Amino acid sequence: MMAVVGFSLLHAANAKHGYRQCAGKNASEGGCFHWVTFDRVGQGPRVRMSNVSKGSIIGPLTRAVLLTILCWPGLPAALTAQPTTHLKRPLVEIRTELGNMVVALYNETPVHRDNFLQLVRTGAYDSLLFHRIVPGFAIEGGDPTSKYAEPGVQLGQVPDTLGIPLEVVPGLIHKKGALSAAPAGETREFTGLSHRSRFFIVQGTPYTAEELIEVAERNANLGTPFSYTDEDRLEYSSLGGQPRLDGGYTVFGEVLEGLEVIDALAKQPCNAWDRPLKDIRMFIRTME
């Protein structure tokens, strides 16, 4: 599946403080956050040949039959194509005045990965703001209009009329440090689309196994089912995160170094729009 993500939070009953109500574990069922977007993916099947091939598979006729079988067009693509998930994950560095974060981008979400890398390489993110911060939930940035924004104005409101399709992959969860795409917009027409520029990084809170079961049932009822492994449950209980977002937004990377920077950003005082009172700019570079 291919998808794209963006980060824009919304609550049907309170647009102004929409995703703030999603931050807690006891948020109402109507609350959610909308956006315009580890290696746990199993490897493809391997072709094996038994030891009998050493003695009995000889002669031009047998070789011809073997080649015909291997090249037959009806066979699964896994026999002829290598998965992209074996590639080394690209790394980027997000620099801020509060510290730096090293982020790995997932090869399992190639559309979001390549879109993000293109923006980084062209300098599109340099000097943009982290324009929305909700402690215990996430920090949002990447709004193209934020570079020259007036102090105090609300940001992250302009939809991405194109967007990119969501790439929801089992095992890629909204744990602390997850890099996820914001929604393309906050209305129905943008459902299933990520914003090509805006993103958020999860801070979150710990969830017990029992709480995670409740969240999974809620997500399924909302049409975004998501299953968890024992490792996922351990990460949510120890590291924390926001499982309410699983299945509805594209997680396309994770912070490998600098989780403490997320906590430092989350402590910044903000106005009524959750925008930091002091502008915090980002500069992102690839680590190739």
Q: What is the pLDDT of residues 144-198, one digit of tens each?
A: 999 999 999 999 999 999 999 999 999 999 999 999 999 999 888 899 999 999 9
Cite the DSSP H helix spans in the chain.
20-23, 53-56, 60-70, 110-121, 209-221, 230-238, 259-266
State the CATH number of the domain containing residue 103: 2.40.100.10
Q: Is residue 275 part of a domain?
A: yes
pTM for this structure?
0.73
Q: Is residue 278 part of a domain?
A: yes
Of 266, 153, 260, the C-alpha closest to 200 is 266
Rounded to 5 degrees, what angle do the CA atoms 101, 104, 107 make?
160
Q: Is residue 60 part of a domain?
A: no
Q: How many structural domains compose the chain?
A: 1
Rounded CA-CA distance 35/184 in Å is 5
Q: Is residue 57 part of a domain?
A: no
Domain region containing 127: 8-41+84-286
Q: What is the pLDDT of residues 188-237, one digit of tens each?
A: 889 999 999 999 999 999 999 999 999 999 999 999 999 999 999 999 99
93 burial type by CB count under 10 A (0-12 exposed, 13-18 middle, 19+ buried): middle
Q: Is residue 68 part of a domain?
A: no
Of 185, 274, 266, the C-alpha closest to 7 is 185
Q: Is residue 186 part of a domain?
A: yes
Q: Is residue 251 part of a domain?
A: yes
Q: Is residue 47 part of a domain?
A: no
